[in-house]
Structure 1
Amino acid sequence: MELDGKVAAVTGGTRGVGAGIARALLRAGARVLVCARRPPEEPLPGVEFVPLDVRDAEAVGQWCAGLPRLDVLVNNAGGAPHRMLTEAGADRHARVVELNLLAPLTVSLAAHDHLRRARGSIVMIGSVSGSRPSPGTAAYGAAKAGLESLARSMAVEWAPDIRVNTLVVGMVRTERSHLHYGDRDGIAAVSRTVPLGRLAEPSDVGAAAVFLASPAAAYISGASLHVHGGGERPSFLDAANAGHRSDADKESRHERNL
């Protein structure tokens, strides 16, 4: 098993993508700790839960100091409400940046000594929002862009003892998908925009996290691995094709009328 005997921690690992990562690490043989502000609604068998707010530097430091060892850190905790920029003050947007950018730095710094001794690995959970416009979640997109940059710098500063990589995640089907994509028909419609024809499952992200944390990725650091099913089909192609079909239909009707 790729991570047999290793200790792995997943922030925000109680549901959705985080829970998928925790399960994958467990299947790979690791002892898995997950932390979040609230316990999971459904316990994850074999996974240990620790109540923790990753924005609280003192609490994070105490938690890391109490660990006997740590080999893998997955900075997954994050997210943001849908909010246009003018619908909130700068302080609200700053909280989004704090959770999605500063908190991963806080946890990584607290875990540094453990990871250095173990010659361990950090996996940042980024987002495609960090590399494209994200109306309604602009601060989140900016934070995720910063997270990738942070990971690349950490990979250089902390080499050769600690590898640091980012998973750039696209749309994922979780228990909260309906809040973003609507009902079953809405999710199906969104899925058709993905080249692979479906949304990711949390297990897809988990498998990628295991790879980056494992010896199979021993020479990979400072990298961004896209887990997005091929990305998004450029909308101008559909618009151009629609225009072409419209012209072809007009020409066909004209010929029938001759």
Structure 2
Amino acid sequence: MENLARGTADGSLRGRTVVVTGGTRGVGAGIARAFADAGAHVTACARRPPERPLDGVGFTPLDLRDPPAVRAFFDALPRLDVLVNNAGGTPHRRLAEADAERHARVIELNLLTPLTASLAAYAHLRRARGSVVMIGSVSGGRPSPGSAAYGAAKAGLESLARSMAAEWAPEVRVNTLVVGMVRTELAHLHYGGRDGVDAVSRTVPLGRLATPSDVGAAALFLASDAAAYVSGASLLVHGGGERPAFLDAATAGGPSDQED
């Protein structure tokens, strides 16, 4: 912890230039705020502007599914030190309820757009010896009924980040935040109202959902000098994970029922 505190407190991100895709609400806004609070020059890009401007965070309208527009955006930047690929998401939709083309759009948003942005940013990042932070999901490492295409894309994103880290070293570091359940302004759409959110929170070992600022703090760490020797890594930000279902289903008692 001493190294982490020294790395973030010494201003290692002060004056750095950071782009956060999808950085206008929810997790993305939490990440953008964290970098702005650390003294970085932050730009959030998304199709729509934030409902309320974020202090210290600029905004540029950008459709990340438009490769020529993405390349033009990054080409126009004078410098870039950190790219946070946060844009993504999916509606709840079982596989048989939609055609392949609709699922392909989910994969495009969550896997191909981070690749597009990273390639467009590469020259800047190489010159600055910067870093890429991918925002992954626990859905990429477990079954995700209702969001299968999203989970597949996030699994691919982790793999992409590891390969990118190997190919772009030593000039550019690439890491993934594997994010669990987050309490955002849209949490009720996924978990129900307050009762639903509270019930889901009780399934997390730490007893609560993450906040956007929790994810922002982790992204800040991976981009900072405190993580100078961290690349190709996946950092779990999930409050300890999910309680295994078999523990509630099992009828056996405690350790006394087992013999060596």
Q: Please, what TM-score do these two structures have when normalized by structure 2?
A: 0.93
- After TM superposition, the structure 1 = structure 2 runs for residues 13-52 of structure 1, keeping only pairs within 5 Å, are 13-52=23-62
- After TM superposition, the structure 1 = structure 2 runs for residues 93-132 of structure 1, keeping only pairs within 5 Å, are 93-132=103-142
2:203 aligned residue = 193
2:257 aligned residue = none
Percent of aligned pairs with the same amino acid: 77
Distance 1:244 1:60 in 2: 56
Does structure 1 residue 75 correspond to structure 2 residue 91?
A: no
2:175 aligned residue = 165
Any idea what SS the aligned residue of 2:134 has? Answer: strand
For 1:2, which of 6, 12, 18 is the aligned residue? 12
For 1:226, which of 236, 248, 260 is the aligned residue? 236
Partner AA of 1:37 in structure 2 = R
Distance 2:174 2:39 in 1: 21
Of 38-47 and 138-147, deviating more is: 38-47
Partner AA of 1:221 in structure 2 = S
Mark the runs of 5 or more structure 2 residues left unpaired by the alignment: 1-10, 254-260
Shift of residue 69 of structure 1?
Answer: 0.2
Distance 2:233 2:47 in 1: 29
Partner AA of 2:239 in structure 1 = G
Which structure would you say has the larger Rg?
1
Does structure 1 residue 204 correspond to structure 2 residue 214?
A: yes
Any idea what SS the aligned residue of 2:123 has? Answer: helix
- After TM superposition, the structure 1 = structure 2 runs for residues 114-153 of structure 1, keeping only pairs within 5 Å, are 114-153=124-163
Any idea what SS the aligned residue of 1:106 has? Answer: helix
Distance 1:213 1:229 in 2: 21
Shift of residue 5 of structure 1?
Answer: 1.0
**CA displacement, residues 130-180 of structure 1 (integer Å, 9 cap, x when unaligned):** 000000000000000000000000000000000000000000000000000
Shift of residue 2 of structure 1?
Answer: 3.0
Distance 2:161 2:239 in 1: 23
CA contact (8 A) 1:123 1:212 kept: yes
Moved over 3 A (4+): none
2:7 aligned residue = none
Distance 2:56 2:66 in 1: 26
CA contact (8 A) 1:124 1:151 kept: yes
For 1:62, which of 72, 83, 87 is the aligned residue? 72
Any idea what SS the aligned residue of 1:91 has? Answer: helix
Q: Considering only aligned residues, what root-mean-square deviation do their CA atoms show, in Å?
A: 0.7
Partner AA of 1:76 in structure 2 = N
Shift of residue 244 of structure 1?
Answer: 4.1
Distance 2:18 2:219 in 1: 11
**CA displacement, residues 21-65 of structure 1 (integer Å, 9 cap, x when unaligned):** 000001111000000000001110111000001111000000000
Distance 1:188 1:138 in 2: 25
Partner AA of 1:237 in structure 2 = L
Any idea what SS the aligned residue of 2:135 has? Answer: strand
Mark the runs of 5 or more structure 1 residues left unpaired by the alignment: 246-258
Distance 1:174 1:34 in 2: 17
Any idea what SS the aligned residue of 2:103 has? Answer: helix
Distance 1:145 1:14 in 2: 24
